[in-house]
Amino acid sequence: AEQRHMDVDLDKMEYFVQREILDDDRLDNVAQKGIWVTKPTIVERVKDYFRCSLSRLKLMLFSWFPILHWLPQYPIKEYLPGDIVSGASIFVLHLPQGLAYAPLAGLSPVYGLYASFYPVLIYVIFGTSRHLSVGTFAVTSIMVGNVVQRLAPDSNFLIPANGTNGTVVNTSVRDHNRLEIVMALTILMGIYQILLSIFRFGFMVSYLSEPMVRAYTTGSAVLVCVSQLKPMFGVLPGQYTGPLSAVYIIFGTIIAHFGELKSKYGVNVVGLIPSGMTAPFAPSNSLYSQLAGDAFAVGIVSYVINISLAKTFAQKLSYKVDNSQELMAVGIGNVFGGFFQSYAATASLSRTLVQESTGGQTQVAGIISSILMLIAILKIGSLFEDLPTAILATIVVVNLKGMFMQFVDLPMLWRTNKVDLLIWLVTFVAAVLLNLDLGLGVAVGFAIITVIFRTQLPHYSVLGHVPGTDLYLDIETYKEAKEIPGIKIFRSSTTIYYTNAEMYVDALQEKCGIDIRTMLTAKRKQEADLKRQQQKEEKRAKKEAKRQKKGLGHLPTGPFTLKDLNEDDYERLRRESQGNISEFSVTDTSTNGHGIGQVNWAYQHDPAMMSSNPDICLPGDGGVNTISLPTEEENRKIHTIILDISTISFVDTVTSNTLKNIFKEFGEVDFNIYLAGAQVCVVKQLETAGFFSDSLPKSKLFVTVHDAVLHVQMKQSQTDLKPVSSSLFNSLHDRLLSTANTLHGL
């Protein structure tokens, strides 16, 4: 009961703050802006990087070889039993998956065993994830297979058949050629990954959104499943690569099945699995130039899958992984394994789940798995030579279950984010129909386009004040947010930069109900008409002076005032000048100190403004929160526009020029423009861009919207407005005096 009472009190808690109104200059003084934390220069950082000490050497070794950090601290009694069970369980998955996935890459099954051995050992040494299980994976296997089918199709290795006019495939030459292609591809992708790690490009994974990655792997699962139709049904339709290849496979299998072509073939088996390890060798150098683009695509996909799984399990089990070191670990594994006839190694979701769920705590489980895999390669590999390929195909399809389950993303995305749903669908369709390499490019391009459109189509809003608070909210969303008389507060939901700057200005005018071009044109036309009228009046006055010179000959010499005129002269001058003077009846309505005769094109001030209060008073103080609500007529009388730029994260040249033009053009028609809520980095960029000047001082920039509003209200309350009748009288007096002095001079 006591806790419930406290909750109620907390819900009703209020706070009171009293401080002065702060523009940016005053904030710098109050908060003592300065460089209080010095950062080392580039030269100092380079020197520090190459500075050698025992502690630094230790940190560098731990960074490059994470195993040196965790292995000496390994708690044997606590972790070893779980790691042994986990390692054995992973081996049970590695063996069939290695045999099944290698044919996807266009290789004999034994090379899948190599890919389940060498990269695993390398990752144990260099990896930072405790649970990631690297090795063969369906997605990267089929990507490698697509490259192999394109560069080394069966049609390139046809030889005449003995005793017939037909041809057969020279499988030994084909298989060796394909092996070299895969080795070169694997080594090159590893080199890419190492270079990206050295230059700290591990962050680039953030550009691949989770919906895109999940859709891409789901599309890959469809392609893998389709590729297994042939071995599952024991048919051999033609080989296809490139866009729509999945469709051609599907149709080829249907034709082969219903055409009873299966009867022409026996049951396919794995075939020869040589025992022992093979010696390393280097593939032909001529292959690397042909594989540059493919290797980069496979390397990026491999890393994205790795880091996604690694971060998922690290977050679940409360430890950290290093993006760049993960790149390094996978890259070294691929380069080293590539020379030993391994192929593109990637983490597997199914194996990683097993490694974590069976009690695995560290990569010691990977060491156990590698030892068992070495035994299999050396001694028991031949036992799987008679394994039907249909069984391997079934293993592949069953292991795709986790990726097919990602289809449940669709209803969730439909409810939460339609744009992410569209990215998911486009990525999936592109991966299935255009193949994985081209599909990845389309997916990334489409995701970038959605980001551009989001910044091109932000939400623009006019903010209103919530009574009793210092909050300013969208008047279209919050009923209690009320506009302040004469003030428009405008905000964009995204940053302003060169692609949307023009839209920002258009939205500002639309939301404020202002056509600045029309107003500028009207003002300039009025000023030109006024100037012409004044020139006419001057000419008319001179002519009138000459005509009336004789009649005013009795006027005294010396300084002249209206007191020197008799009633007849005064009345005559008044009648002569009346028509001209009436054209200059204006009110002093500007807030920038303009004198009589200056037309305010924005707003004629309402003298009924609030009293001045230099302090910001928040809830309960009876100060600025007693703002009177504007009438419909008052809302039309805008004199001040406050731009809330709190959402701006950076400033480019176009942004700076756009804001300058807003101040210039709106100022020409007597609107007062203020900025509010700028971040410190944005203020610094504006200063660097030369935004502030004598005509546009930093006093136009306020810490918050509330500060800007209070400043405007205080300035309005101090404006001394004169009655229109007084203005007309003073204008008449000055005009009569000027005319009389002119005549007196003549």
The string of pLDDT tens digits covering residues 547-559 is 777 655 554 555 5
Domain ranges for the chain? 74-453, 458-521+636-722
Confidence check: pLDDT of 670 > 90: no
Would you give the DSSP letter of residue 47?
H
Instruction: Give the residue-averaged pLDDT of 491-507.
Output: 91
Share of the chain above pLDDT 90, in %: 38
Lowest-confidence range among 205-209, 218-222, 668-672?
A: 205-209
Confidence check: pLDDT of 129 > 70: yes
Would you give the DSSP letter of residue 115?
H
| SS3 label, residue 34 | coil
The residues, any chain, with a CB within 8 Å of residue 606's CB and separated by 6 or more, are 485, 486, 634, 637
Would you give the DSSP letter of residue 244?
T
Confidence check: pLDDT of 212 > 80: yes
pLDDT at res. 590: 36
pLDDT at res. 727: 46
Helix (H) or strand (E) holding 167: strand 167-169
Q: Are 88 and 368 spatial neighbours (Cβ–Cβ below 8 Å)?
A: yes
pLDDT at res. 516: 87
Would you give the DSSP letter of residue 131?
S
Mean of per-residue pLDDT scores for the chain: 79
299-311 pLDDT tens trace: 988 988 898 888 8
pLDDT at res. 683: 93
CATH architecture of the domain 458-521+636-722 equals 2-Layer Sandwich (3.30)
Confidence check: pLDDT of 599 > 80: no
394-453 pLDDT tens trace: 877 887 888 888 899 999 999 999 999 999 999 999 988 887 778 888 998 999 899 888
Query: What is d(CA 355, CA 120) in angstroms, rounded to the nearest whole number?
Result: 13
5-17 pLDDT tens trace: 444 454 566 777 7
Confidence of residue 521 (pLDDT cuts 50, 70, 90): confident
133-166 pLDDT tens trace: 999 998 899 889 989 999 999 888 888 877 677 7
Confidence check: pLDDT of 90 > 70: yes
pLDDT at res. 239: 52
570-580 pLDDT tens trace: 555 555 544 44
In 3D, which of 611, 592, 610, 612 has the Cα closest to residue 602?
Answer: 592
Query: What is d(CA 535, CA 348) in angstroms, rounded to the nearest whole number?
Result: 87
Cα–Cα separations (whole angstroms), residue 696 to 33, 247, 389, 660, 675: 21, 64, 77, 8, 11
Lowest-confidence range among 253-262, 486-495, 548-557?
A: 253-262
Instruction: Give the residue-averaged pLDDT of 714-738.
Output: 56
The dihedral through the CA atoms of 651, 653, 654, 659 has a sign that is: positive
Q: Are 220 and 138 spatial neighbours (Cβ–Cβ below 8 Å)?
A: yes
Instruction: Give the residue-averaged pLDDT of 159-177.
Output: 84
Task: Tell me which residue has tokens 């051999």.
Answer: 236
Instruction: Give the residue-averaged pLDDT of 54-82.
Output: 90
Q: Are 537 and 580 spatial neighbours (Cβ–Cβ below 8 Å)?
A: yes
Query: What is d(CA 730, CA 585) in angstroms, rounded to the nearest whole number?
Result: 10
Helix (H) or strand (E) holding 597: none
Helices (H), 382-500: 389-398, 401-404, 409-416, 418-434, 436-456
Relative to beta strand 640-644, strand 672-676 is parallel
pLDDT at res. 606: 39
How many Å separate Cα 326 from the centre of its chain? 24
Q: Are 240 and 435 spatial neighbours (Cβ–Cβ below 8 Å)?
A: no
Which one-letter amino acid corresponds to residue 356?
E
Residue 279 burial by Cβ neighbours in a 10 Å radius (0-12, 13-18, 19+) = exposed
| SS3 label, residue 271 | coil
Query: What is d(CA 344, CA 134) in angstroms, rounded to the nearest whole number?
Result: 10
